[in-house]
Amino acid sequence: MSRLIVISNRVSAPTADQPGAQGGLAVALTAALREADGIWFGWSGETGETVAPKFETYDGVTSATIDLPEQDVEEYYDGYANRTLWPLFHYRLGLTEFERDFQGGYERVNRLFGEFIGPHILPDDLIWVHDYHMIPLGWVLRQRGLTNRLGFFLHIPWPPTRLLTALPDHRRLVEALFAYDVIGFQTQEWLETFHDYVVTQMGGSIHDDGSITVGGRTICAIACPIGIDAREFIAGASSPQAVATHRRMIESSIGRSLIVGVDRLDYSKGLEERFNGYQRYLETRPEARAVVYLLQIAPPSRASVQSYQDIRAQLDALSGRINGAFADIDWVPLRYVNHGYPRDVLAGVYRAARIGLVTPLRDGMNLVAKEYVAAQDPENPGVLILSRFAGAATQLDQALLVNPYSPDDIADAIERALAMSREERLARWKPMFANICNEDVNWWREQFTARLGGA
Ligand code: ADQ
């Protein structure tokens, strides 16, 4: 059996400092790394001079991290990854910053990773690189003479060709992907937009078996949607902490229906539009006031980037305006919370919520939608309202699908969800639940690694 080497910007394998599992991806990859005696490489999150990777083996899994100089963090992570690629790949050309220094920093850090990781790779290792931070890494490793099987998975959308061509040197970025043997996207839609680029910009051809040839090099590109660790999440939903949270939520709701949103505070998640949709609901259905409330949990992320500071300030103002306009002496329409919670607490919150409101403007997948479905009471499930522009909408098509830009669409869906019979709720929930159990995170990992292993 080959070893598996995972490389991503940050490592979320458990360590002595942080022993708990940190989300589905960590759980799935950790299990695979343990079985395959592998290593997970990434940035430590610290700034400092880059020296040899720091190895740590905890509970059978080895992680290896490097520090990065401050300038590299600014140009590679804050810069090219989060100010250029993230907004562009989420269709936000207006928020995209094009700085040559960012691109330089991005390529420099990818070379640095190659330099530090390269010597630790054995000839038979399977290498799996993750996400937009690391696109050129495969190419860097090939330059170093590596002939291993190399895979890449993109967790975010692939943008339409005409958007992508706004990126200076877009072709250089895409060409780097051809150093991999297998590349994976979350959905068929992103795979097809990638095909479009390859055909129209590179003169490549797509074969019946899904492989792609450009200039004599053939690679395999697949759609492979990520799932959650359904079994772990379902078990978590009946843990003591979840049950206590559920009780606390029901008590504090005093008979009102809870609508819940849980997101990183990010402009791609459509929070402003969601608040506007909720406001439209309150405005147009005065009789519904005081019988619902929205709990939005949104811990800040990427706070050093201006566009994230801006969205945070806008949401602070908007949530204040909504509460100012609609609150009563014994009712607050919007509880807006800016910090994270342990997964079992989230599970209890999801279960207490009559509606899961998941309305990103664009999202590679969106795991919150899947977690909401997993946490429901099988006898009396709530309703998922889901953006059609989330990758998850292709699998969770029994949700109430909405256009997240339309406040009326969101308001109508809230009304419909609150009035929905138990029978219809069950009929919608059951196939979604089956999907998240069948196509869970282990299924995703096996699909990808089977291709990577040459199947
Ligand atoms: P994200 O954009 O981070 O992921 P998402 O898929 O929703 O988005 O995952 C977020 C995770 O963080 C979920 O597991 C959620 O429970 C957790 N989380 C969010 N808010 C939290 C809070 N307040 N407290 C605790 N936990 C919280 C990127 C892509 C997605 C893709 C994933 C995985 O943008 O489209 O689904 O990677 O590929």
Cα 243 to Cα 15: distance, rounded to the nearest angstrom: 28
Instruction: Give the Å distance between the CA of 369 and the centre of ligand 1.
Output: 10
186 with 284, same domain? no
> Does the predicted interface ipTM exceed a cut of 0.90?
yes
Q: Does the annotation count 409 as an active-site position?
A: no
Ligand 1: atom nearest CA of 25 is 33
Model pLDDT for residues 212-238, shown as the tens digit of each residue: 999 999 999 999 999 999 998 899 999
For residues 188 and 394, is the Cβ–Cβ distance under 8 A? Answer: yes
Asked if 129 and 17 sit in the same domain, the reply is yes
What pLDDT sits at residue 59? 86
395: which 2 tokens? 């699998």
> Do 186 and 271 belong together in one domain?
no
Do residues 145 and 172 share a domain?
yes
pLDDT for residue 455 is more than 70: no
Which residues span the domain enclosing 355? 230-438
Q: What residue owns the CA closest to ligand 1's atom 24?
A: 340
Going from the Cα of 366 to the center of ligand 1, the distance in angstroms, rounded, reads 6
- Same domain for 135 and 249? no
Residues 416 and 446 grouped into a single domain: no
Q: Is the pLDDT of residue 393 over 70?
A: yes
How many domains does the structure of the chain reveal?
2
Same domain, 321 and 447: no
Query: Per-residue pLDDT averaged across 169-180, rounded?
Result: 97
Task: Please report which confidence band the pLDDT of residue 290 belongs to, taking 50, 70 and 90 as the band edges.
Answer: confident
- Express as a percent the part of the chain with pLDDT over 70: 99
400 and 353, same structural domain? yes
pLDDT band at 22 (very low <50, low <70, confident <90, very high): low
Residue 397 annotated in active site = no
Please report, for the domain that includes residue 298, its CATH number: 3.40.50.2000
Share of residues in the chain with pLDDT > 90 (%): 88
Same domain, residue pair 222 and 262 = no
Confidence of residue 241 (pLDDT cuts 50, 70, 90): very high
Write down the pLDDT at residue 20.
64
Residue 283 has pLDDT above 90, yes or no: yes
Mean pLDDT of all residues in 323-339: 95
| Structure confidence at residue 223 (pLDDT) | 98
Regarding whether 174 and 206 lie in a shared domain, the answer is: yes
Burial of residue 381 (CB within 10 Å: 0-12, 13-18, 19+) is: buried
Show the ligand 1 pocket: residues with CB < 6 angstroms.
Answer: 23, 155-156, 226, 262-264, 297, 299, 340-341, 346, 363-368, 371
Burial 329-365 (b: 16+ CB within 10 A, else e): eeeebbebeeeebebbbbbbbbbbbbbbbbbbbbbbb
Q: Are residues 211 and 328 in the same domain?
A: no
Q: Which of 3-17, 125-139, 433-447 has the lowest mean pLDDT?
A: 3-17
The label of the residue with tokens 């009929």 reads 427
Q: Residue 326 is encoded by which pair of tokens?
A: 């609609």
- pLDDT interval class at 34 (50, 70, 90): confident
Both 219 and 268 in a single domain? no
For residue 353, the 8-state DSSP code is -
